[in-house]
Structure 1
Amino acid sequence: MRIHRHLRPLLFSPLLSFPHHITPPHSKTIHTFTQRLFKLPTPPTPTPNNHTNLPTFLTHASRTALSPSSTTYIGTHYEYTVQQTLRASNFTLHRTGGRADAGIDLLGTWHVPSREHPVRTIVQCKALKTKLGPNLVRELEGTFASAPAGWRTGDEVGVLVSPREATRGVREALARSAFPLVWMLVGRDGVLRQALWNGRVEELGLGALGVEVRYDSCVGGGEGKKGEKGGAAVGLTWDGEGLSGMDAVEGEMARAEERWMGMWMGDAGGEMGDAERWELLEVVERMFPEEKPLLLGMEMGKCCSALSEEERARVVQTLRGRRALEGDDERVAASSG
């Protein structure tokens, strides 16, 4: 099994501390209906500390006078920095937190092109100042068995993120692993500078994944030239093209959802409120558990649903039957009152 090393050591520069007064755009949350419609796993329950992204954590830290030098502040700040940074690489991630997190810092999905279903993703963040060893890879491997049910599908990837470079021992451990694993160097400034993965990742159908150097994304005042302060950032690619980022993915999902709902509104003969939308989704899930809006179908100009006209007619008939029964129940209740 080979490990993919796309970057040379000379591309890395000393890491900069993240200015605590600067807050990048916060991570978005996919609506519950959309999440269920697209068969996305249920994210973990938010921590009881009332923060789910970097801006809300900074507000919490200020309100509670949490010291920026404390291990809690440093670790949590880095986890949310990683959460935000990886959105550019088509990850949508949720922080787990708490004592029962099974060693997992972030859980979510990786929405790579050419896949109708995103890859389940387990992330560990190691904001360590000490040298990193292969024991961290073994620790990440252990999270596959302890992850929530929605992340134990046989189609998940583990991601280890640190502000330090992967040592030789870490790279060798990645290559030997029987699990699909990714290593990413994300600085405390939120810049991705290194990405490595083993052959198991390609076996998940991610063979088109690559890395490109982005000198125009330098940090620390550089102007995008190699060797300037801050160094070069890197970005993940697919078939040689840069990934679109989660904002674009969520836009595609919204358009697919709109087309999918429009298909049913035409069949049902009118607009749907929230209650009707949820009722439709429940009926479709019961009758056709695999049905979801097709993103790739939209790209190829095809229908956004895998259901035939006959199957859609069966769903509509079931909905009308349920509503007729509900109407009968209401009339009986009114007459008895």
Structure 2
Amino acid sequence: MRLLLSASKHHVANLKTTSRIIKRNFSRTFTQNDIAPFTRRLFKLPPVPNAPSQNHDDLPSFLQYALRTGLEPSTTTYVGTHYEYTVQQTLRRYGISLHRVGGRDDAGVDLVGTWHIPQTEHPVRVFMQCKALRRKAGPNLVRELEGSFRSLPAVGWRTLHKAAVLVCPTQATKGIRDGMARSSYPLVWLMVGRDGTLQQALWNANVEKLGMGMLGVETLHGGRDASEKRIGLTWDGSELPHMDRVEEDLLQLQGKWLNLWGWKGMMDESIKMQLLDVVEEYFPEEKPLLTGPKEVCSTLSDADRAFVLEELERRQRRIHVEGQSK
């Protein structure tokens, strides 16, 4: 069943969860991959924000930290942080890579990242507010989300290709739906249970303007046996790829792009960064282009690439000479 909150018709189809909830033990199955700095630069992804804590960066490390420090599960800090990490892991299943943020200038945002939609040139920037509420959510949360949209820092967010997401463990009320429909911003509502089960997904018409018109929500079969069902986000009728798959594909495309420069083996990370330094300085619009399934090409001509390699060699010689003079 596809869910769309239409700003013009003020109509939404609610998803009634009748399927059995699939419980997950994140503390035993969670694996947090991440996109390397070089890959982020190559595909022009936003930088990773500073972590709000040096003691934990995923659910398992937070659970260990809570046990070590005696943080009670009933405290607001525990409940909120646990829920944010649960949401972070749950949404990796749908091609969404997220990082926790926090601090004085977080604009009320809990998670930021990228949503990697199939067959689109650029992933959608997303920022999220996670509300681990036990009561019904009010329309004031939509206004708070809009305020965060206006207060985002400039670094990594100088684009119109972004959406704001509100995540709660309760269903969207009529006030929430009406507020989203009236909003001039691309807004998404996700109901994610405390166990990490996606149970409802709504968005307004502005989200489709980001090139996400084929996004849908369906009750999908899967789990321990074929009779179990779960709620999933889909693209053109097929389930969205897991973020693990997205990261693998990015690495494959990265390798193919490096091959265009005559690279056939291991390349030092610093040299790859210097290569990007030269490319970004002289050809700032260069970005690997998909030409088919897992195939990639460059926007640069052979002469352009020869120039880049010559400049890279000159810089390497200068670094070598400077190193010997010290």
TM-score under structure 2 length normalisation: 0.89
Structure 1 or 2, whichever has the larger Rg, is 1
Question: Is 1:146 matched up with 2:151?
Answer: yes
Residue range with higher mean Cα deviation, 98-107 or 126-135? 98-107
Match of 2:16 among 9, 29, 43: 9
Residue 258 (structure 1) shift: 0.9
Higher relative contact order (CA 8 A, sep 6+): 2
Question: Is 1:239 matched up with 2:232?
Answer: no
Aligned to 2:51: 46
Residue 97 (structure 1) shift: 2.4
Q: Which has the higher helix share?
A: 1
Match of 2:138 among 133, 137, 141: 133
Question: Is 1:166 matched up with 2:161?
Answer: no
1:3-152 to structure 2, matched below 5 A, reads 5-9=12-16, 11=18, 22-149=27-154, 150-152=156-158
Q: Which amino acid aligns with 1:292?
A: K
Supply the distance in 1 between the matched residues of 2:82 and 2:323 (Cα, whole angstroms).
Answer: 54
Match of 1:176 among 168, 182, 189: 182
Q: Which amino acid aligns with 1:173?
A: G
The percent of aligned pairs where both chains have the same amino acid is 49
CA change 1:197–1:217 in 2 (3 A) is farther
SS of 1:46's partner is: coil
Match of 2:213 among 203, 207, 223: 207
Unaligned runs of 5+ in 1: 226-231
Supply the distance in 2 between the matched residues of 1:35 and 1:287 (Cα, whole angstroms).
Answer: 19
| Consecutive aligned runs of 4 or more in structure 1 exceeding 6 Å deviation | 18-21
CA change 1:306–1:298 in 2 (3 A) is farther
Match of 1:288 among 283, 286, 289: 283
Aligned to 1:249: 246
Root-mean-square deviation (Å): 2.6
Aligned to 1:312: 305
Residue 49 (structure 1) shift: 3.8
* Aligned 8 A contact 1:162 1:187 in 2: yes
CA change 1:315–1:164 in 2 (3 A) is same
Residue 270 (structure 1) shift: 7.3
CA deviation map 1:106-131 (0-9, x unaligned): 00011101112111101010101111
TM-score under structure 1 length normalisation: 0.86
Supply the distance in 1 between the matched residues of 2:26 and 2:126 (Cα, whole angstroms).
Answer: 30
Supply the distance in 2 between the matched residues of 1:135 and 1:12 (Cα, whole angstroms).
Answer: 30
Aligned to 1:260: 257
CA deviation map 1:68-118 (0-9, x unaligned): 111100000000000000001110000002343210000001110111211
